[in-house]
Amino acid sequence: MNDLSQDFLPGFVHLIGAGPGDPDLLTRRALRLMVQADVVVYDRLVSPEIMALIPPHIPRIDVGKLPKAHKVPQDGINAMLVDLARQGLRVARVKGGDPLIFGRGSEEAEACRAAGIPCDYTPGITSAQGAACSTGVPLTHRGLATGVRYVTGHRAKDGALDLDWASLASGDTTLVVYMGVANICEISNRLMAHELCADTPVLAVASATTPRETRVLSDLSGIAAAVANAQPEAPVLFIIGRVVSLYEPALLATALACEGAGMAAYA
């Protein structure tokens, strides 16, 4: 058995990916670090089901961000992690998805290392992977998509979306857009302006892998209106590309029902 003592050093910051929301998708290492921590600093995108796994005696600090409403700015979070670690605490910094995919984990690691605070990463299943598996839509598929690209649909301080639209508008690539609800109209229009077909299918998935998951199916020309009408609750992820043509909700519901029945037999 590996020596795990290094995991629990005092004055240490663990940058932990909590996955897309379903506690069954949390890694064993992530759970171990969370329940052994002296303090948990967590984001809004960490699901309540996962937060419920943390023992009640462990202090929790909510630093979650809402659009245009950051209760603790990023610089403040960085300083908080350093301060807590300097008190000799084992800090679990818990983030939705993976800390190195639009999670600002590397920014927080830089701040820790600059202050002489040791830190490490624990990967998590990305929101894109979670959404793909819960909806049954593959991110790649032979004959439909030869690659997948993850992009942000939001810039810090509401900056312009200066993405490489010509490169992104590829019919052979699946495009996964994180944090794109506010800008989905601009995103879809920019992609169509760069000759991505207007009838390219799009699936918006909110709160993927949790009991609150909702989906909005449309095409590139209609997704902005469809999302505005449905008003899904964040976090929302957009899967854009021909792979979405494989989405079959009826078959998926049957598979999930069978899975539930199988699990019930072990309850």
Active-site positions?
43, 65, 179
Residue of 89, 102, 123 whose CA lies nearest to 15 = 123
| 164 neighbors 182 (Cβ within 8 angstroms) | no
Phi/psi of residue 161, nearest 5 degrees: -80, 80
Cα 208 from Cα 134, distance rounded (Å): 7
For the packed helices 223-230 and 184-193, what is the interaxial angle rounded to 10 degrees? Answer: 170
Distances (CA, A) of 130 to 41, 120, 165, 198, 205: 23, 23, 26, 26, 10
d(CA 207, CA 200): 23
